[in-house]
Structure 1
Amino acid sequence: MNKLRGHALTLLATMLLSAGARAGDASAQGASAVDYAQALHQLRQVSGAVNGADLDWQAKKQQASALRGIAGPDLRVSGFLGRVSATLSVDTSSIAQRANPLLDSLPPLPGLNLPDIPNAISANRIVDLRSLGLTSVWPLYTGGRLQAVQDIAAGRAAEAGASVQAAEDDTAAILAQRYFTVQLAREAWRLRAAAVDAIKDHQLVAVKMERSGLIAKIDRLKADVAVDNAAREAAKSRSDLEIAQLALSRLLGARVTVHPVTPLFVHSAPVGSLASFVEAAMSSNVAWKQIDSKRAQAAGAVALQGSEFSPTVIALANYNLNRGDSVARANWLVGMSVSVPLVERIDRARMGAAARLEKQRVEVMADQAARDIPTLAESQWRAMEDARLRYLSMASAIALAQESLRLSQVAFKNGQATSIDVADASLGYTKSRLERAQAAYDYVLALARLLGTTGQPGKLLDYSRTASNIVELTKD
């Protein structure tokens, strides 16, 4: 019964691996091979964050463009058609005071009754009015207020443009994480599957040795357990790979499974000095573009509030054509309007103080960024170098683990080791290779973050092509 159970477990492990292999083949057949540059381009096309930021940028640019002619003249056509009821009233009280006594003193005339003169005479008139005219207003002097409005609008557009780059950098960081997580998961699954094959070979040897009486039944059962454990780990790593592929495909909005073809990589030598990356970050980090745009807006706000009590001079012109029944009369007007604010409902002094405080806040942000950006670049560069050195230093550990596995297998055949020794050696070999793949993954992600900090996330594929250490990709 126990022997049958052992064979059943072995069969189960074989079925699990076969199902994983078939799933891998189906995945490869239904997958779309995409390198990192293609994936980055595709993500920028479908990313809601990038597209939303781009639409906001386009809107802000349109607004800034709309204000370019704000200081020039405008021209309007105006018309009116209507009826006006007017009352005409004439004060005749002074005439009545003089004339009425005189009229009253006259002797009555036969057939003539003179009425008294009223104190006022009123008449209602209804007039139809029609007009058509051209009106122009041209601000000649506003104390710099119109220029300040233009500067604020331009600053808002520049800030929106910087937000687009920030969104692209953020999505590039997310893509690098998901893209190379698939590669790490694929490598883990291959290593786990290879471990199952190796332990299954050991299991076959254990079965033969048990039949020959060279080992006890418990050693063969331990080999069965090792196969089951390895099969479970392989099935879990296959599930992790499928989840990683699903996350990447959904990120890119792909209808089929995305199959990354850019491998994990590590350079044998540093790709650049710390000083060079810090210098690049200080000149190209998107935070500086955002700060510069906020500076422009703050300066415009200060100029706007500082000129609120300046006089405003506006040139006016009007040409009006009024048509009567048979006569056309042309009327025109040309002049200038000057206004100087004296007292307003808004406390302009406080508004100006607020604008100056906002400008100071932007400078405080700039000072903080001048400290944070090089610190961020340095931490990312050191994380990248740490991962690179870990990867390079693991070659000896892998060689040792591989030799330990070989010796344990030989010792088992000679009766000098147990199945547990072989399983432990196999596990150690797989673990060391997984740790090296993890180091390559950490290196690529640290490099991707560093390139994002320096404003050049699209160069990751170029760096992958110059790497001397590649985690080779094979079919699933």
Structure 2
Amino acid sequence: MILFPTRRRSRRAGAALLCLAAATAVPARAEPLAFDAALQQLQQRSDHLAASRYAVESAQLRRDAMQRLGGPVVNLSGAAYTYNANLDVDLNPLNRLLPGVLSQLPAPLAGSLAQMPHLPSSYTLNRSKSDTTASVSAVWPLYLGGATQAARGLLDAQTQEAGADADKTRDEVTTVLVQRYFGAQLAERAAALREAALSTIEQHDAAAQKMLDAGVIARVERLQARTALEEARRNARKARDDAELAATALTRTLQAGDRVTPTSPLFVLNGPVEPLPYFIDTALARHPGLAKVAAKKEQATQLHAAQEALRKPQVFAFGQRQLKTGRDADWVAGVGVRWTLWDSIDRNTLAESSNRQIEQAERTGAQARSDIALLVEKRWLALEQARRAYLAQAPSLELADEVLKLRTAGLKAGTSTTLDLIDAQVNQAKAQTERAQAAHDYVKALADLLEACGLSEDFGKYMARADALRVE
């Protein structure tokens, strides 16, 4: 807030005026930009908004990827292989049984076989082969107890949470833009008032020198004017630096190449905005924080449903077949059932845990609704206070204008002093600056109220309604 000390007819009147002075330093290049255009540019260039959009898109893509969750899964497998296998066969038992077998044969046949060489004690079999194999298999879950629906519901809730975060970011970024855009307007207007006051100080300094040369004023009065001028120059540089910093903040917020010069003036609505119940009802329906709490509750609900699904049997169909022609291709098909009868995890306790999460989300939502309603009421009252403060300053500004006219005429007629005129000029600048500050407070309060209601995108509509009370 820009403050001015109370002016008195004293030697400190000139020093008080210095708070209004400024030295100008206009950049060579500037980009005039209305607020609507600035908001559009911010939506296109803001890294915060882009990050929130990517978060929503990522969540939505995850949900899309799980659209067919629970459907059939078909796998194709193949292999190329080669092997070499050796098998040692022990022939000693056969050698021991062979004499007994020969004794039971007819004598001629047994005699001819008896002259055959004995079998070796062991024999090694060797087999090697290279081949390929391929098969196709499929599994189709028929019943999973609702697990797939719970998984998709969880992803839907996560997408809703990302959307709520994106809405919150959008509202916050819009409020920041309002503060920096109209803050730059206020700083520039304050600098302009200081520039006008500095010009007046310079005129009085020159007049004081002439009056000193003519012997009309004392040297101490001349030194007071000189001191006031030097202090005005210092304050003028500071005022211009503040205006430049505000313009730089706005330019960087918009990520513009050239310095941005705001052209949409400060404004105030002549009448009050919609009544408080309208904004409370809107906030309870649209506030991103409530949408996020609702998404958290839905996630907890779906997690509970998924845990309950694990208690139920799972039914699935399956099949597999070799990829080869002919009747000798191997294949299998059937229906399977899986039901966990005992698990090392305590499912009952786990279900109670998920129920507590649901209750937590419900209580959090109730508290959030109460807090948001209170916040909206607080900001609505702040907006009304700012509007009334702005309108209440009209008589003060009119009085300051009239006093300045009287002091100017009185100086020419010899009924007023130079300090009287300086006092009147300072009071006029003070009234103008305080009026601009009140308009800035109103604009900021309006942006805060709309953010609390999830209506930040409607700021331009309220600005369009204030044509009759634009603060130039």
Q: TM-score range by the shorter chain?
A: 0.7 to 0.9
Count of aligned pairs: 446
C-alpha contact (below 8 Å) 1:219/1:418 kept by paired residues: no
CA distance, structure 1, for counterparts of residue 274 and residue 257 of structure 2: 39
Equivalent in 134, 137, 155 of residue 135 of structure 1: 137
1:111 and 2:115 matched: yes
CA distance, structure 2, for counterparts of residue 75 and residue 385 of structure 1: 66
Instruction: Write the mapping of 1:224-303 to structure 2, written as runs, cut at 5 A.
Output: 224-303=226-305
Which residue is equivalent to 1:470? 470
Question: How much does 1:257 deviate?
Answer: 0.6
1:32 counterpart SS class = strand
C-alpha contact (below 8 Å) 1:130/1:322 kept by paired residues: no
Question: How much does 1:173 deviate?
Answer: 1.1
Q: Normalising to structure 1: TM-score of the pair?
A: 0.85
RMSD: 2.9
Which whole-Å deviations, capped at 9, do the CAs of 1:417-461 have from their partners, x for residues lacking one? 655444343333222211111110010011011112222212222
CA distance, structure 2, for counterparts of residue 99 and residue 442 of structure 1: 114
C-alpha contact (below 8 Å) 1:321/1:328 kept by paired residues: no
Question: How much does 1:92 deviate?
Answer: 9.3
Relative distance call for 1:92 and 1:312 in structure 2 (3 A) is farther
Q: Normalising to structure 2: TM-score of the pair?
A: 0.85
C-alpha contact (below 8 Å) 2:33/2:263 kept by paired residues: yes
Paired letter, 1:280? T
Instruction: Write the mapping of 1:24-63 to structure 2, written as runs, cut at 5 A.
Output: 24=26, 26-27=27-28, 30-63=29-62
Equivalent in 307, 310, 320 of residue 308 of structure 1: 310
Instruction: Write the mapping of 1:64-79 to structure 2, written as runs, cut at 5 A.
Output: 64-79=63-78
1:197 counterpart SS class = helix
1:222 and 2:224 matched: yes
C-alpha contact (below 8 Å) 2:184/2:247 kept by paired residues: yes
C-alpha contact (below 8 Å) 1:215/1:415 kept by paired residues: no
CA distance, structure 1, for counterparts of residue 349 and residue 88 of structure 2: 52
Which whole-Å deviations, capped at 9, do the CAs of 1:96-119 have from their partners, x for residues lacking one? 59935725868886633444898x
Relative distance call for 1:47 and 1:69 in structure 2 (3 A) is same
1:344 counterpart SS class = coil
Relative distance call for 1:439 and 1:91 in structure 2 (3 A) is farther
Which whole-Å deviations, capped at 9, do the CAs of 1:172-203 have from their partners, x for residues lacking one? 11111111111001110111111122333334
Which residue is equivalent to 1:10? none
Question: How much does 1:353 deviate?
Answer: 2.6
CA distance, structure 2, for counterparts of residue 425 and residue 216 of structure 1: 23
C-alpha contact (below 8 Å) 2:90/2:121 kept by paired residues: no
1:165 and 2:163 matched: no
Which residue is equivalent to 2:12? none
CA distance, structure 2, for counterparts of residue 105 and residue 115 of structure 1: 17
CA distance, structure 2, for counterparts of residue 444 and residue 197 of structure 1: 30
Paired letter, 2:42? L
CA distance, structure 1, for counterparts of residue 159 and residue 388 of structure 2: 44
CA distance, structure 2, for counterparts of residue 135 and residue 88 of structure 1: 34
Which whole-Å deviations, capped at 9, do the CAs of 1:384-406 have from their partners, x for residues lacking one? 11111111101111222333444
Paired letter, 1:56? A
C-alpha contact (below 8 Å) 1:214/1:415 kept by paired residues: no
Which residue is equivalent to 1:364? 363
Paired letter, 1:342? L
Which residue is equivalent to 2:195? 193
C-alpha contact (below 8 Å) 2:450/2:459 kept by paired residues: yes
Relative distance call for 1:231 and 1:413 in structure 2 (3 A) is farther
Which residue is equivalent to 1:4? none
C-alpha contact (below 8 Å) 2:185/2:265 kept by paired residues: yes
1:125 counterpart SS class = strand
CA distance, structure 2, for counterparts of residue 274 and residue 205 of structure 1: 56
CA distance, structure 1, for counterparts of residue 419 and residue 431 of structure 2: 18
C-alpha contact (below 8 Å) 1:166/1:286 kept by paired residues: yes
Which residue is equivalent to 1:102? 100
Which whole-Å deviations, capped at 9, do the CAs of 1:273-295 have from their partners, x for residues lacking one? 11111111111111122122212
Relative distance call for 1:209 and 1:175 in structure 2 (3 A) is same
Gaps of 5+ in 1: 1-12
Q: Equivalent pairs: percent with the same residue?
A: 33
CA distance, structure 2, for counterparts of residue 217 and residue 98 of structure 1: 146
Question: How much does 1:349 deviate?
Answer: 3.2
Gaps of 5+ in 2: 1-17, 105-109
Relative distance call for 1:281 and 1:72 in structure 2 (3 A) is same
